[in-house]
Chain A
Amino acid sequence: MTPAKTQGHYINPVIALLTEIKEDNGPDFGKVHSFCEELHQGISELGGTFYVFSLKGFSDEGVEGFYYDDDEWKKGSLPFPNVIYNRVSSRRTEYSKGFKGFLNKLDSLGIKIFNHRFLSKWDIHEFLMKEEHLHPFIPETHLYTEQLLASMIAQHEELYIKPVHGSQGRNIIQLSRENSLFHASLSSLPAKDLPAFSSIAELTRAISPIVKKQLCIIQKGIQLSELNGRRMDFRVLCHKNAQHFWKVTSIVARVSAEQYFVSNIARGGEVMKPIQTLSLIFGKEQARQQLALMKELALETAEAIGQHAEGLTAELGIDIGIDIKGNLWLIEANSKPSKNFEERGTKIRPSTKAIIEHCYGLCQP
């Protein structure tokens, strides 16, 4: 089977989402389950076809996947799609031989896949450093070594150590220096403070079991402005439109649970409107400028990553922080951003519309 094609125009595109599927009690698409229903609704309203499949369901003959019909997901043998939206949630899967073969197969069939891969924090850092005009917004970042820890902790009061393949604020170490004592906290739930250390050697030894397990970056801590003592950052969701230009789809302020140093919602934070949140701290006029710059900066970041990363990238969640002086900092970018910031209701959310629009754009000649 080949993609449905009529005189160079895809009349009714077939769009598929790739993710892990549990089949014990009816199909379960994990964190993107309800998002898949939304995609189905949006795509079928436009006359297209949508289904969900896992790597296991894909073969040379076709795809075994799940399509939505009569209010439930039904299993079936489905045609090859025109476009695949990659929401595989495991990095390990993406690094497997099977995945590589799958990508090659797509290539030979002329099937497009976007959000090719998870991006590592170090890859992203290197992509962004290629853009001189972004340098003022990028905190000093290196691959972790013990020597760098020693020299950076001497220069900066606060540092972060993050696994390059981490997500959702997991396994982050926050280090700080106060007089001659060093403090470390871990972001694992529940958050844990280690006892204070009186030397860098002790500190290095204490964190070595964590940093030896996986490749980490070490990053200068930004003294983020706070809302009533709670840490705050911003998640800017960006999508490529049908014409392949990046657009900002939504911005939310994420405010951490009290006494917590990551604001990821998965770690107990809450979501607020950005302009209101910023106005409370900086006043309305500066808040407007910060928000405008935040959009501009997110677009520049998305363009840079989209240009330098392998494969097609069409969706990015970009985390931006604001320091106490009011300056903006690029904290992270995520190629598998969470879908749970916007209220769903019965309407198709803007970010879902944006994904669908881009899929249709990819199907154009």
Chain B
Amino acid sequence: MRKRYPIEIIHHSKQIVFIPDDLPNGKDISKIAFGNKVIDVTCAPHPKGRKVIVLSDDVQKELSMPNLSGSLHVFTDQQTLFIGPLIGILTSGFTPYPLRPIGERSMFFAKLLSVNKMVGAIPFVFGEEHIDWDTGLIRGYFFVDDGWNTMDVPFPNVVYDRLPNRRTERKSELLSLKSRMQTDYLIPWYNPGFFSKLDVFERLQQDERAAEYLPETHQFSSFSVIERMLSNYGNIYVKPANGSLGLGIHQILFDKHKGDYYCRYRDQDGINKLTKFDSLEKLMRKIFHKRNLAHMIVQQGISLLRSEKRLIDFRVHTNKDEYGQWQVAAIAAKIAGQGSVTTHVNNGGVVKSLDELFEDKQERDMYEKKLSDVSLLLSSILEKNMEGIIGEIGFDLGIDKTGRVWLFEANSKPGRSIFKHPKLKNFDLLTRKLSLSFGIFLAEKAITAPEDIFK
């Protein structure tokens, strides 16, 4: 059973730690650890029997432990008492401005760090440039009672990867930082990388349980594949392999009675267009002349559920929780703007909760269960078939007119902007809490059963 205690600091200069008498193996403790820093201490049960952990201020100083209120998790392994955990959230794009040290993402990180007291951990944000490998300290960014502050702390128990994009992630300094922390310091690293759209489908195809949720999806190879898919499905999607926010998504429709091709897309001015062509070649030449087709994905079109003639799709956000189990943290419906290819809000789409979308409770419960079950199944398959420790996934799912669930995309660093919707605010808090709670789980595993993590 995981334990949490309030931490108190007293003025004393004898490397003293008082521990509660109900702490397992408390009698054997002779060392205390914070992050990767370990020191020898004298340990005694709390003289008044209080259920708190008291550190003398010289211990706090030697551990480079910030002065923060709230209760923390405590793990023991042999003679060592681990308190924390210290969770390092890695990102890039720091600014010299103390009011907004991570630019426009500062508020996002402030909110993420602010769940610390609820989950019982010490999270901080850092970049590659804040690590001092010689002293073994990191200048971490903390969001505390008076706003953003920096403090020097030891290396963290776990690293939560929130690098903003693929470009930064591929930088050599970040690649070497990642391998050094994992192999030399044995620090678990969660949520690495960005899924590529095609990779997700290929990995999922390796598991037959996923097959029924996957629309036929290929990298663009030839017009004949498009022709075949159009004759099978009537319509297809063509989209950039590494796109986001619904940009560059085109729908091609084929009218087999008249032999006409239609392309529905959003032009440079943000206008939703539907254009007719008498051959596929003309369509491709006109619409895609500026795009490298080799970087496009071709996907089977699905006849989606509609609300008042407008397309509906769903965003499901899954997280691993404090026990390392997948949980559905959020479900939202997105309803497309009229005549739009996608349900993205910047295309005139609106966000709704399932309660708002389905007035009938039975219908709502049925779809909620379907979407949840599929998302949990796909999460566990992706976790098994992708490299690295995955802690959260955002799924874009559709439901067709027969009630069948389809996967369009899975994102390893899903955006959270839809959770700003008033009906989804509670999900926002839950996903933030879970993304740190999973860090606590990993920190404990790395201490008590490292073989489970470093396979």
Give chain A's interface residues, CB within 8 Å of chain B: 8-9, 131-133, 135-137, 240, 242-246, 285-286, 289-290, 292-293, 296-297, 300, 303, 306-307, 326-328, 364-365
Contact = CB atoms under 8 A, between A and B. Distances in A.
Nearest to A290: B99
Contacts of B208: none
21 contacts: A131-B114, A132-B118, A133-B110, A133-B113, A137-B147, A242-B350, A244-B351, A244-B422, A245-B421, A289-B100, A292-B100, A293-B99, A293-B106, A296-B104, A296-B106, A303-B420, A307-B422, A327-B99, A327-B147, A365-B307, A365-B308
Nearest to B417: A245
Contacts of A306: 422
Contacts of B350: 242-244, 364
Contact of B143 (A136, A242, A296): A136
Q: Is the interface of B mostly helix, strand, loop or mixed?
A: mixed
B50 interface: no
Contacts of A365: 307-308
B349 to A, nearest CB: 8
A240 B420 CA distance: 11
Contacts of A135: 114, 145
Contacts of A244: 350-351, 421-423
Contact of A326 (B99, B110, B113, B423): B99
Contacts of B99: 286, 289-290, 293, 326-328
Contacts of A9: 308
Nearest to A8: B308
B115 A296 contact: no
Interface string B116-138: 01100000000000000000000
A162 to B, nearest CB: 23
A290 to B, nearest CB: 6
Contacts of A133: 107, 110-111, 113-114, 143
Interface string B348-368: 011100000000000000000
Contact of A136 (B104, B111, B145): B145
A296 B102 CA distance: 13
A243 B351 contact: yes
A357 B345 CA distance: 15
Q: Give 3 nearest A-B pairs by CB, closest first.
A: A132-B114, A133-B114, A136-B147
A290 B100 CA distance: 9
Among A240, A307, A328, chain B packs the most CB atoms within 10 A around the CB of A307
B44 interface: no
Nearest to B103: A292
A294 to B, nearest CB: 10
Contacts of B143: 133, 136
Nearest to A313: B422
Interface in B331-377: 345, 349-351
B217 to A, nearest CB: 30
Nearest to B95: A289
B186 interface: no
B146 A136 contact: yes
Given A132-B114, A365-B307, 8 more contacts: A133-B114, A136-B147, A243-B345, A244-B351, A289-B100, A292-B100, A307-B425, A365-B308
A245 B308 contact: no
Given A243-B350, A290-B99, A292-B100, A132 B147 contact: no
Contact of B420 (A245, A326, A327, A364): A245
Contacts of B107: 133, 296-297, 300
Nearest to B423: A244
Given A132-B114, A136-B144, A136-B147, A286 B420 contact: no
B286 to A, nearest CB: 32
